[in-house]
Amino acid sequence: MSPDTSFLSAEEREVVNILIQAADLMSEIYKRQTTPNYDQLRAEVVAKNDPALLERFDAFFGPWDPINDKQPFFGGQPKPPGAGFYPADLTKEEFDRYLAAHPGEAER
């Protein structure tokens, strides 16, 4: 993409560049938070030597299609509940039990 930024002042262009850097960092955090074993899965996609598949994986930050109800398009594994925000082996029941035993932690 080559947007026309000629109408922006030097300071505004600098702010846009800082925002782009922040977005890049947020993307890194998001993909690792939502896709357990992101690097391993991406390496498997790369090994398939299918540019369209890799482009889709990168666009969706993982192997699940958000347009198609988060259905997997690679690997066949359903998107885990909590999508990596919680430990992969933590069940909802365990989480609920923890909160019941530690009500002061619920807000946090």
Domain ranges of the chain: 10-105
pLDDT of residue 50: 97
Paired strand residues for 42: none
CA 84 to chain centre: 9
Query: Model-level pTM greater than 0.75?
Result: no
One-letter amino acid of 37: N
pLDDT tens digits for the chain (108 residues)? Answer: 788 888 999 999 999 999 999 999 999 998 888 887 899 999 999 999 999 999 999 999 999 999 999 999 999 888 877 766 777 778 889 989 999 999 888 887
Predicted pLDDT at 84: 67
Q: What is the pLDDT of residue 3?
A: 84
Render 15-73 in DSSP notation, one character per residue.
HHHHHHHHHHHHHHHHHHHHSTTHHHHHHHHHHTT-HHHHHHHHHTTSSEEGGGTTEES
